[in-house]
Structure 1
Amino acid sequence: MLIIESWLREWADPALDTESLAHQLSMAGLEVDGVTPAAPPFSGVVVGEVKTTAPHPDADKLTVCEVSDGTEVFPVVCGAPNVRAGLKVPFARVGAELPGDFRIKKAKLRGQPSLGMLCGASELGLEDLIDGLLELPADAPVGTDIREYLQLDDQIIEVDLTPNRADCLSVRGIAREVSVLNRVPFNVPAIAPVAPTIDDTFAVTVSAPEACPRYQGRVIRGIDPTAQTPLWMVERLRRSGLRPIDPVVDVTNYVLLELGQPLHAFDLGKLKGGIDVRLAQAGESLTLLDEQTVTLKDDTLVIADANGPLAMAGVMGGAASAVSDGTRDIFLECAFFAPLAIAGKARGYGLHTDSSHRFERGVDPQLQAQAMARATALILAIAGGQAGPVVEVAAEAHLPTPVPIALSAARVEAVLGLSLDAAEIADILARLGMDVVDTGADTWQVTGPSWRFDMAIEADLIEELARVHGYDRLPSRLPAIQGAAISEPETRLPARRLSDLLAARGYAEAITYTFVDPAMQAALAPELTPLALANPISSELAVMRSTLWAGLLTTAQRNLNRQISRLRLFEQGLRFVPGAGEGGGLLQEPMLAGLVFGTARPQHFDDLTDGKPRRVDFLDVKADVEALLAATGGAAVYRFEAAEQHVLHPGQCARIVRDGVEAGWLGKLHPGLAATLDLPADIYLFELRKDVITQVSVPKFSELSEYPSVRRDLALVVPEAVPAGALLESARKACDERLRDIQLFDVYQGDNIEKGHKSLALGLTFQDRSSTLGEADINLLLAGVLSQLKQEFNASLRE
């Protein structure tokens, strides 16, 4: 919100400079984002009066003027369309310096002397609101420095408010805070009710009192449609970020900025029957002031007449009933709408207005009469007319009622670590507008004012005490706590160990959103209907991921688009699978996933193949996964099986299994999917279920055998399709505990091997704990292994 410093100081004027005031507001929780001047530096510009005008003899679009600066009259050639005799405008005399290092010099324009320049708003560095010169009021004192007259040495303070501080969305609200913080008077302008001078009214009905507990309306007839908004109001609106439109709309915007109460004016001649504040009906539509036509939802509160909706309550008016240049009679609306009735409605239609911003956070429910009086008085003063009586419909039962809150000095000290004097506590709360009742023994019953919707519990009051007393004055005191060791089960591998292991192997950890692009999710799991977000932050982040690959592939796309040629990424997080949880609910499963692309080793450490760096392959990534599994102390219990998965290449894909339970997947990105996602085909992925892979085999001592071990090697010929892992697992089952280790150390296909077969060389190590194994014992064990492998895989010894 933009706050004009001079306007603020009319309400509360502390003995602080601008910088100190901004710092104080930030320290009080009203964060100041910046302070900017009302106008850029310039000098030598005064209020000038155009005495005479005459057409330029040699230029149709130029006018020769005589301009007075109060002491002397100067010839000036002007090209503005609105120049005329009697006009008062900013006049830059010879020697003046305008924004952009532009100096005014004596000149001749088409043969006519010009000693100065008449200025529009843009020449002064202001927003150009009209085409031509900046017209000043007729009573502007000629010769006065324009910076002084327009208060251009003013400052604009930009305040960033949290949603709970709706009471500060106005000059009045910020000034109230400044008054409290500095103990200076809070100068509330006198706003007296405007007595009606006509009896005209317009019927009002509130059909949804729970959404609109208070509605006021007033007829004002005979306004002057040619009236101009005074310059002082135009400047305040401009500096506050609002564009002046016409006197009626400008007044409603001005009151919104000044008091924080949104108002709306309807063209009375365009209304029929009476006002009804109700919920929209199915199929109704409304063309808004921005010319957008919306189909109204049945939970949207509207202002309607006999012809249908006139405005979206608390959000935006309709174009059909808007005040225009020909409007003579208006119906002025001022209401309190319940925050829950307005919250989210504007966003639901893709809108955001100053009114909705305030109503959905909470407007003072006792402010409407004062705002109506203020707006009526300003409209009558600027545009004339006669006002009728105020019509009010109120449902007191639905108006917010502040809740009494119990507060104790002991609790204040326990939370803040500071012992505040009881008198100071009561004083601070009273200055904040709260009703404070002393209940004895340094305890109080406190009731918040009508404008503070955020006062609900004791902690809210303590926060206010801390703010006003000063966060920077609170002592630094460490709380007395007793440390407790965190117990981690030995049977679970900590997530940090997994991260450290992958980082040591050259991976970088990624943290991506759990919600992803629906197109990416559909490409990775077309058979699954993902969980959709009810209110996504963007259309590209609209569903919950069912695989961590969605975020990693998106990250890869962004990196590759920025010429990153080598990637090793991993992520730990949850995946969300609808219907796979307990009782058919949502499964939220912790996963560990990785993505690898590029060369096998970093630059300057490349393995060169035919003079080129070697690209990463399936076995490289498999080695990384095996290192992860080995960290559990039980790598032998995992098996890699050839399988098919939609995302992975059919020929380079493995399912990882532990004791018959799927532990994850590993493989190369499917070429078709790579083309769809505009990614290289040689990307490798893995994804593991953390609840499976983090099960640790707890180390335990085994008695060392004093007898020697014996190794025997077997070269077996098996069909080409037989997995080596299955062969090793079967060999282990064929032996007892005397088989201490088994390793695959060679794979061969070629000469002397039957086509469609391969040779697998196994190294078996035997050892007995109670005796030395003899040759007969070893041969018996080997015979059992060969018999098992022949029976299961048709394996035979290689000759």
Structure 2
Amino acid sequence: MRVPVSWLREYVDLPAGLTARDLAAGLISVGLEVETVDEIGADIAGPIVLGRVREIEELTGFKKPVRYCRVDVGTANGSGEPQGIVCGARNFSEGALVVVALPGATLPGGFAISARTTYGRVSEGMICSATELGLWEDHTGIVVLPEDAGEPGADAYDLLGLREDVLDIAVTPDRGYALSIRGVAREAAAVYGVPFRDPADIEITGTPGGGYPATVADPAICSRYVLRGATGFDPDAESPLWMKRRLAHTGVRPISLAVDVTNYVLMELGQPLHAWDRDKLRGPIEVRLARSGEQLETLDHVKRTLDPDDILITDESGPINIAGIMGGLETEISLTSTNVIIEAAHFAETHIARAARRHQLSSESSRRFERGVDSELPLAAATRAVNLLAELGGAIVDNGYTHVDRSTPREPVAIDAALPARVSGVDYPAGTAVRRLREVGCAVTEAESGATLHVTPPSWRPDLTDPNDFAEEVIRLEGYSEIPSIPPVVPAGRGLTIGQRIRRAVGRGLAGAGFVEVLSYPFVGQAQFDGLRLAADDERRNAVRLANPLNDDEPLLRTTLLPGLLRTLVRNVGRGFSDAALFEIGLVYLPKAGAPERAPIPPVHRGPSPDERASVEAAIPDQPRRVAAVLAGERDPSGWWGKGRPATWADAIEAAREVGYSAGVELRARAAERAPWHPGRCAALYVVNNTDDSVSGTLVGYAGELHPRVISAYGLPARTVAMEVELDLIEGARAPAGAPEVSGLPAAAQDVALVVDNSVPAADVEEALRSGAGDLLESVRLFDVYTGEQVGEGRKSLAYNLRFRASDRTLTTEEATAARDAAVAAAASRTGATLRG
């Protein structure tokens, strides 16, 4: 919401000398998010005055019509003689009162005005358009002022409002009242303790009944509906300069007087209005929900199929408006309309919010309705609008008006008078809560003891429903800065938990291995699961559904980290980063069996009962923490030293092993098949049992090359590889931490080359070597794989380096050889391996 400070001052007596930036700081202190203070016109300088066009000479012989004008600018030019100015605009005639920038003036954008020769004449200034003055967008011609605007030579700065301070406020969803000058003025009055003059305090003239007939089908969709009419409106009447300027300051483009009036009242009071051409309406109006199959062509010339959840305004011809969103094309007010009907209503917030998203139509009206509009405002706003049509457009206001009131009064809420002090920790003086609540418009009744307040919230604050809401109002108006900062005392001897240390170690380990950490949104849709080629009965398709998703295409919480990582990889590759290694540490969300579809919402004024806590916990999904990584392009870069090495399935497995190493466990890989990985290039990852050096039954994840169809579905680079492991399981399998043993004795290394069938995994051979080598074995490392004629078809040679060490002595060659032979014998027995000759 853009708020001109001069407009704000009409309704609140701000302190003299208060700057716009001081005002912004004051509003920020009570919770309004003032993003910027725009100093409009700060770059305008020099003589800009009113001028009367005395003579117009049409210049010929040029490609476009050009005029040489003699303009009376009084004594502003120092001589009193008419000023000669060349102008190409055609929307004025002799005698017109215009705006003139004389030589020495500077217009918006740093455009300096000087006397210059053009079209064979000396032009001593410029006759200005609204666009050139930075007033509003208008390319139809120059600004022609009313006859009574002033005398030639008079300063134009104040008349046109060329300089203005405008606050740009980001209004949060709970403060819809701040989407109006009225609402912000009320906040400013509370900040500075000055009187507030309500622009909605309007005398309601006329007689209820006798207006244009209207009915409301259901009060749940529309609690109040007002129609006021005006006849004899002059469609040629122009909006006054002050109205156009204020609309432009708030970000609204002036269109025509009838439309400008509805927009002006919208910005002033916060009540959306709609204007119809009365002559285009057909019979009584009805407010109802849409029926299946109904359609409406809206003002943007789009024919829309309506949803049964849409609130419609209809007449005998059918739908004429999507309530609170956009009007229909057939009944729009035009530049020839003389009889006008103004509509003001209070529609159900949730219906408007859903309709705006469904039709992808976010308008100034829908933004206000979905946040909550003052339910008592429609009659005052409609009256204000027709009065402006009468004042500025010569209309005659109908005496009768339609007012359908199906609203119910708000009930008082009991609140402990000491609640604000108890919540904030500030000892407020007696009577503070009552004073502050009345400042925001609440009706407050004190109990005899004074300990309990009965507070009825005002109609413009639908967000005030709970005692804590009222406590917050008191606290914010007293100042958040008054709340003391008292950090909690940290018990001695505590630091990061084991889980936190492991997560940090994993992140540092992967970053050190060349990976870049990313954070993805946890929202997915079935399309992402389809892209991963998950089977219909895959447990990962069973996902928690959001009650109010940000995106209708992604209504689920993720059950795997891969979709977010893969989409991030696609964006990076699309921006030229073809060699990428990304990782993410995050939660996945796995629904519990028998959990309710929606989590219950316990009250906030007290702690939950055991039953409420149990019901909430039953609805919360399991949230294991996982680590995932993706690699594409070159793992080892190419350069002057030679060719690079592309990332392969082995790099994905190594990334998983790095996670295990950082967490203090060892992971082993075994061949497996699981979507979305390529069959034959997928490994299941298991935790090594630290007690007997064997692979235990704890499966922690998968790694390998993605299936080609997955790569095609996501648009990934060819041969993209990925891994995903469950960090919680790895943490649970971790042995108690201890100091590593460092031996001062030398190690004995033995190399062995074993020939096995191609179908035998290298991990099985390594595990057999470990089990047979005994306690002297320190490490096993595969350093070469060979296939070819020397080992025979269907066979491969695996070369391992075995490292032996004793803690109490230097090993002899015989001891190391014996341990190696035992390892080879175990490998031969378990995998059919033979020593390569």
Q: Tell me the secondary structure at the aligned position of residue 286 of structure 2.
A: strand
Q: Amino acid of the residue matched to residue 457 of structure 1?
A: D
Q: Amino acid of the residue matched to residue 435 of structure 2?
A: D
Q: Tell me the secondary structure at the aligned position of residue 343 of structure 1.
A: helix
1:49 corresponds to which of 49, 52, 59: 52
Q: Tell me the secondary structure at the aligned position of residue 131 of structure 1.
A: coil
Q: CA deviation at 1:790?
A: 6.7
1:626 corresponds to which of 618, 641, 657: 657
Partner of 1:704: none
Q: Tell me the secondary structure at the aligned position of residue 43 of structure 1.
A: coil
Partner of 1:184: 194
Residues 419-568 of structure 1 mapped to structure 2, 5 A cutoff: 419-439=427-447, 440-478=449-487, 494-515=502-523, 521-525=529-533, 527=535, 530=541, 537=550, 545=558, 547-564=560-577, 567-568=580-581
User: Does the Cα contact within 8 Å between 1:55 and 1:62 map onto a contact in 2?
Assistant: yes
Is 2:312 the counterpart of 1:302?
yes
Partner of 1:250: 260
Partner of 1:642: 671
Is 2:743 the counterpart of 1:722?
no
Q: Which moved more, 1:536-545 or 1:358-367?
A: 536-545
Q: Which moved more, 1:552-561 or 1:306-315?
A: 552-561
Q: Amino acid of the residue matched to residue 69 of structure 1?
A: V
Partner of 1:706: none
Q: CA deviation at 1:376?
A: 1.8
Q: CA deviation at 1:465?
A: 1.9
| Alignment partners' CA distance in 2, 1:313 and 1:756 | 74
Q: Amino acid of the residue matched to residue 655 of structure 1?
A: A
User: Structure 1 residues 782, 50: closer, same or farther in 2, change over 3 A?
Assistant: closer
2:685 corresponds to which of 633, 656, 661: 656
Q: Tell me the secondary structure at the aligned position of residue 288 of structure 2.
A: strand
User: Structure 1 residues 48, 573: closer, same or farther in 2, change over 3 A?
Assistant: same
Residues 295-334 of structure 1 mapped to structure 2, 5 A cutoff: 295-334=305-344
| Alignment partners' CA distance in 2, 1:684 and 1:57 | 74
Q: CA deviation at 1:103?
A: 2.0
Is 2:21 the counterpart of 1:19?
yes
2:363 corresponds to which of 350, 353, 360: 353
User: Does the Cα contact within 8 Å between 1:654 and 1:667 map onto a contact in 2?
Assistant: yes
Partner of 2:626: 591
| Alignment partners' CA distance in 1, 2:820 and 2:126 | 110
User: Structure 1 residues 725, 281: closer, same or farther in 2, change over 3 A?
Assistant: same
Residues 252-291 of structure 1 mapped to structure 2, 5 A cutoff: 252-291=262-301
User: Does the Cα contact within 8 Å between 2:104 and 2:112 map onto a contact in 1?
Assistant: no
User: Does the Cα contact within 8 Å between 2:247 and 2:253 map onto a contact in 1?
Assistant: yes
Partner of 1:28: 30
| Alignment partners' CA distance in 1, 2:493 and 2:373 | 47
Q: CA deviation at 1:326?
A: 2.2
Q: Tell me the secondary structure at the aligned position of residue 148 of structure 2.
A: coil
Q: Which moved more, 1:536-545 or 1:10-19?
A: 536-545
| Alignment deviations for residues 48-101 of structure 1 (CA, whole Å, 9 cap, x no partner) | 122344544766823444422245451534321112123111123354443434
- The percentage of aligned residue pairs carrying the same residue is 35
User: Structure 1 residues 332, 550: closer, same or farther in 2, change over 3 A?
Assistant: closer
User: Does the Cα contact within 8 Å between 1:215 and 1:335 map onto a contact in 2?
Assistant: yes
User: Structure 1 residues 507, 9: closer, same or farther in 2, change over 3 A?
Assistant: same
| Alignment partners' CA distance in 1, 2:51 and 2:805 | 110
User: Does the Cα contact within 8 Å between 1:544 and 1:576 map onto a contact in 2?
Assistant: yes
Residues 164-183 of structure 1 mapped to structure 2, 5 A cutoff: 164-183=174-193
| Alignment partners' CA distance in 2, 1:645 and 1:513 | 24
Partner of 2:400: 389
Q: CA deviation at 1:259?
A: 1.1
User: Does the Cα contact within 8 Å between 1:668 and 1:685 map onto a contact in 2?
Assistant: yes
Residues 406-417 of structure 1 mapped to structure 2, 5 A cutoff: 406-409=415-418, 411-417=419-425
Q: Amino acid of the residue matched to residue 627 of structure 2?
A: L
Q: Amino acid of the residue matched to residue 278 of structure 1?
A: R
Partner of 1:705: none
Q: Tell me the secondary structure at the aligned position of residue 124 of structure 1.
A: coil
User: Does the Cα contact within 8 Å between 1:303 and 1:312 map onto a contact in 2?
Assistant: yes
Is 2:71 the counterpart of 1:67?
yes
| Alignment deviations for residues 677-711 of structure 1 (CA, whole Å, 9 cap, x no partner) | 6655464432223354332245799xxxxxxx999
Q: Amino acid of the residue matched to residue 163 of structure 2?
A: D
Q: Amino acid of the residue matched to residue 555 of structure 1?
A: T
Q: Tell me the secondary structure at the aligned position of residue 232 of structure 1.
A: helix
Q: Tell me the secondary structure at the aligned position of residue 392 of structure 1.
A: strand
User: Does the Cα contact within 8 Å between 1:407 and 1:446 map onto a contact in 2?
Assistant: no
Partner of 1:241: 251
Q: Tell me the secondary structure at the aligned position of residue 414 of structure 1.
A: helix
TM superposition score normalised by structure 2: 0.81
Q: Amino acid of the residue matched to residue 423 of structure 2?
A: V
User: Structure 1 residues 765, 476: closer, same or farther in 2, change over 3 A?
Assistant: closer
Structure 1 residue runs without a partner (length 5+): 702-708, 770-774
User: Does the Cα contact within 8 Å between 2:630 and 2:721 map onto a contact in 1?
Assistant: yes
| Alignment partners' CA distance in 2, 1:583 and 1:472 | 42
| Alignment partners' CA distance in 1, 2:40 and 2:786 | 83
Q: CA deviation at 1:484?
A: 9.9
| Alignment partners' CA distance in 2, 1:645 and 1:140 | 80
| Alignment partners' CA distance in 1, 2:162 and 2:788 | 91
Partner of 1:686: 723
Q: Tell me the secondary structure at the aligned position of residue 299 of structure 1.
A: coil
Q: CA deviation at 1:444?
A: 2.6
Partner of 2:168: 158
User: Structure 1 residues 601, 136: closer, same or farther in 2, change over 3 A?
Assistant: same
User: Does the Cα contact within 8 Å between 1:93 and 1:115 map onto a contact in 2?
Assistant: yes
Q: Tell me the secondary structure at the aligned position of residue 123 of structure 1.
A: coil
Q: Which moved more, 1:748-757 or 1:46-55?
A: 748-757
| Alignment deviations for residues 298-342 of structure 1 (CA, whole Å, 9 cap, x no partner) | 011011001101111111111111111222222221111122232
User: Structure 1 residues 699, 596: closer, same or farther in 2, change over 3 A?
Assistant: same
| Alignment partners' CA distance in 2, 1:632 and 1:184 | 62
Q: CA deviation at 1:140?
A: 0.9
Q: Amino acid of the residue matched to residue 273 of structure 2?
A: L
User: Structure 1 residues 328, 4: closer, same or farther in 2, change over 3 A?
Assistant: same
Q: Amino acid of the residue matched to residue 215 of structure 2?
A: T
User: Does the Cα contact within 8 Å between 1:97 and 1:104 map onto a contact in 2?
Assistant: no
| Alignment partners' CA distance in 2, 1:75 and 1:634 | 89
Partner of 2:693: none
2:585 corresponds to which of 550, 568, 572: 572
Partner of 1:772: none
| Alignment partners' CA distance in 1, 2:368 and 2:484 | 36
Is 2:145 the counterpart of 1:136?
yes
User: Does the Cα contact within 8 Å between 2:750 and 2:820 map onto a contact in 1?
Assistant: no
Structure 2 residue runs without a partner (length 5+): 598-618, 688-695, 740-746, 809-813
Q: How many residues align?
A: 778
User: Structure 1 residues 614, 244: closer, same or farther in 2, change over 3 A?
Assistant: closer
User: Structure 1 residues 275, 126: closer, same or farther in 2, change over 3 A?
Assistant: same
